[in-house]
Chains A and B, each alone.
Chain A
Amino acid sequence: MAIEPSSSPAGDLGGDRADAGATDATAPAAPLVDRRAQRAALLGRIGVPLILVLMIVVFALTAQDFLAGSNIKTIFTDAAFPSMVAIGLTVCLTMGEFDLSLNGVAGLATIVVSVLVARNHMATIPAILITLATVGVVVGLANGLLVGYLGLNALIVTIAVNSGLLGFEYVISKSQQIFGGYPRGFVSFARGSVGPIPNIVILAVVLAIAVWLMLERTTLGRQMRAVGGNAEAARIAGVNVSRTKVWGFIICSLLTAVAGVLFAGKQTAAFPLSGLDVLLPSYAACFIGAATFKVGEFNIAGTLVGVMIATITANGLLLIGVANYATYLIQGAILLVALTFARLVARRRAAA
């Protein structure tokens, strides 16, 4: 076959032919190509969950106690914090933007709520609300305004903001560790469970459902997907692109701050630069998620599968007795493998 020109100006004959190719699969050559495409699509949708199942089987066979009730509870508890952050990040990525201030937001939220309740003895609920409003909403708003309205590059903006937030951790904690003195209600919520299910897991699930609803069923979620898919088309359709971006950054920061607050309750201690390290795990989860279910799109269900893969790897390796530092290596490797896998599936679909 002759090599087609890679780009033919729309509206000329080349465009017509491309259109003809995209119409319903009634062309004579369809069946074979179709089956290959279908297989690639199926592999794309369930490939990653399959890996997850495989991992569970392998660890169940090799690691003692992997399937013990207490370990399963540990896995879910460990997954809860990165889940909340990754759900927020999924919103940001859906809009085609990045947020690298996640660690700063989570860490500062931990510090702020700790200072308020443990040092200043503020009542728990107002303290949490103040933390979420200042760290979550204000930082998200700042990121959103800088990126959405000023048009600055999200990568560099959020790196800069992150640095600022780390500084604030020292300022607000006065560079001193906060240890103990947390109200009992706060701690028992963060550590407690309903029956066998930890509270933070329930909260993570509730947040996942809420954000899923937001993305799939609301005007805002749709506008976010339109902005991520083709910002110019969204603008022409009448979507306020800048405002949509602001909302997305706020949601991302807010969910990250929620994770940071709960982390304080669980640890009952806080110190600058020792908050949640969620940056890589949440990006890994989102990008693994984008290779799952709806291939090529960030989606909440996929993100949760991604979080589970990362968490189960860490947990299983720990049980087998692999050294702690290896977790970093392996998390990095998992992200690369997932990205490669998604890319290969996409390429096969394109070729079919």
Chain B
Amino acid sequence: MPPMSTRAIEVRDVSKAYPGVRALSDVSFAVDRSEVVGLVGHNGAGKSTLTRILGGVERPDSGTVEVGGAPVAFGSPDDAITAGVCVVPQHLSIVPLLSIEENIGLGAGRRARSDGPPLRERIRLIAAQLGLEGQLKQKALWARPSTQRLVMIARALLREPQVMLLDEPTAALHPSEVARVFEVIDGLREDGMAIVFISHRLEEVLRLTSRVTVMRQGRVVAEEASATLDKGRLSELIAGREIDVDAERSAPSPAAADDVLLRCEGLVRLPGVRGVSLELRRGEILGLAGLAGSGRTQVLRMIAGLERPDEGELTVKGRPIGRSRRSALRAGVAYLPDDRVNNGVVPEMTVAATVTLSDDRRFRVHPWVPLLRHGREAAMVDEVLARLDLHPRGAAGRKMKHLSGGNQQKALMARALLAGADVYLFDEPTEGVDVGARQDLHDAIRQLAADGAGVIVSSSESDEIVALADRVVVMYDGVSARELSGSGVTEAAVTQACLVG
């Protein structure tokens, strides 16, 4: 057997640009055999792009990748797997009605080798390695979350990789379940595997890894031994201290201190939300910060009437919001959902119908006759869209599916604006929209607060929170962990609070 270099994978000067965005700039990064390296960074720092390149999903514009000392160029995920690089994605792809064994073997059929032991035998060996042997016949449906995660890892191991990239392997796990995954990772490392551990949970990164690579804005900004780091230092590296000043930051609105519009007291909805209290006053923009999965979205869904809390009190202007989205709307809560493709857009519907879907009474021939006057509706909708600077003008009659993402978001925003509510909830209001649209949406949000409404903006981007919010509530692991206000609202502070809690 030829001696193998200890270097399992080496990335040199890799760059990748998308139209208008430089996703990676001269990124270099290496992992040795029998080593676990942490890869950390903000949303949009470039971790996902790097993962996609190493997984063969994307090709770099420049730079080289070597696996086991030999240069590789991946044209497809299959190429990466053949070269021995396996990405275990964050999102589970488990088929609930198949057994654990079948789930592990999923997709392996075509790659079965004629010379090695049969697939069944290999699955059994890997399962034994991961402590899953007793559960092979069990349906995946009943498996614990950590087991499901291990199934994903087992599926990757079936490809016999030398390098594994684990993307947020513990994100959906309860702390008590994490240990089990860690044991497996440690075991793999001892067997010579090179592992990249991608996570927002800094404690876990520090506990598990020997080195940490920090990315920010498409670059590697630090590479340090884990032993020399602590949580605070690491979160500083991730946030970067030079970006504290933000020109876009608005002057705090003059919030009337006593005029509380919305009060949440000890909201619980398991498993995601474990205790959230917050208040929203008239004329105020409250930022809701937190990592993905910290429970922000669920909190807003509860206030919007889409989910009901298990425990806790939730009142708008002193009254409960009722049991449905409809009743919350009547109570004065407007809501712009996250994930517009699934939660907002009806592709075949016109822009006008989308905007007035919540309430079209004012366009009826008569309040009691639900026949709509399209002309009047289109005129009104176009007027609101013009206020959001939606181009091209006169889009009311176009179908939603023909609009760009930014314009779709503006249409959904227009619906919220027309609600004439007291409380406005915006979940990731500028997710996946261009810079210009982002500015228009921000302007509209500020205008609402200036007009005396109470606004909550939930965002995973701390610069957006800082740009908009007068006050920030930070969610961590389902709990409203921290509150920042006044001069304490800086990007570094928000980011750090998100990571540390």
Contact = CB atoms under 8 A, between A and B. Distances in A.
Interface in A37-76: none
Given A3-B76, A230-B345, A234-B346, A11 B431 contact: yes
Interface string A289-330: 000000011000000000000000000000000000000000
Given A17-B19, A217-B371, A238-B357, A22 B405 contact: yes
A220 B76 CA distance: 48
A40 to B, nearest CB: 15
A13 B329 CA distance: 33
B376 to A, nearest CB: 13
B358 A238 contact: yes
Q: Determine chain B's interface SS by DSSP, over half rule.
A: loop
Size band of the interface chain A makes with B: 35 or more
A313 B374 CA distance: 38
Nearest to B406: A19
Contacts of A23: 404
A344 to B, nearest CB: 19
Nearest to B301: A236
B10 interface: no
Contacts of B434: 16, 19-20
A196 interface: no
Interface stretch (B31-39, B140-148, B313-321, B347-355): B347-355
Interface in B419-461: 428, 431-434
B342 A232 contact: yes
Given A10-B432, A11-B431, A16-B434, A233 B57 contact: no
A236 B335 contact: yes
Contact of A229 (B19, B20, B48, B347): B347
Interface string B350-391: 000100011110001000001110100000000000000000
Interface residues of B, number: 54
Given A213-B371, A226-B349, A238-B357, A19 B405 contact: yes
A30 interface: no
B405 A18 contact: yes
B395 to A, nearest CB: 10
B403 A229 contact: no
Interface of A: 2-3, 5, 9-13, 15-20, 22-24, 213, 217-220, 222-223, 225-226, 229-230, 232-240, 296-297
24 contacts: A10-B339, A13-B21, A13-B23, A16-B19, A16-B20, A19-B405, A19-B432, A20-B20, A22-B404, A23-B404, A218-B371, A218-B372, A222-B349, A222-B372, A223-B357, A225-B346, A233-B337, A233-B344, A234-B346, A235-B325, A236-B335, A237-B357, A237-B415, A239-B358
